[in-house]
Amino acid sequence: MVLAGGLNTRMGGRNKALLDLGGRPVLAWLLESLRKNFTAIWLVTREPEVYKKWPVRVATDIYSARSSLTGIHAGLSKAHTPHIFAIACDTPFLQPQLTQLLVDQISAKQEAVVPFYDGHFQPLCAVYAKTCLPVVEKQMDAKEYKIIDFFDQLRIKKIDEKTLQQADPLLRSFLNINTPEMYQTCRQLLRSMPCF
Output the DSSP codes for 65-76: S-SHHHHHHHHH
Q: Which residues, including other chains, have CB under 8 Å from residue 135's CB and lie 6 or more apart?
A: 150, 153, 154
pLDDT value, residue 6: 65
C-alpha pair distances (Å), 132 with each of 1, 112, 129, 173: 15, 8, 6, 24
Alpha carbon distance 31, 142 (integer Å)? 33
Alpha carbon distance 93, 189 (integer Å)? 10
Q: Which residues, including other chains, have CB under 8 Å from residue 47's CB and lie 6 or more apart?
A: none
Provide the CB-side half-sphere exposure for 101 (13 A, CA): 22
Contact 102, 34 (CB under 8 A): no
72: left (phi over 0), alpha (psi -120 to 50) or beta: alpha
DSSP assignment, residue 37?
T
Closest of 34, 35, 46 to residue 5, by C-alpha: 46
Contact 34, 87 (CB under 8 A): yes
Domain ranges of the chain: 2-190
pLDDT value, residue 140: 95
- Domain 2-190: assigned CATH number: 3.90.550.10
pLDDT value, residue 8: 61
pLDDT value, residue 104: 97
pLDDT value, residue 94: 98
**pLDDT under 50 in the chain at which residues?**
196
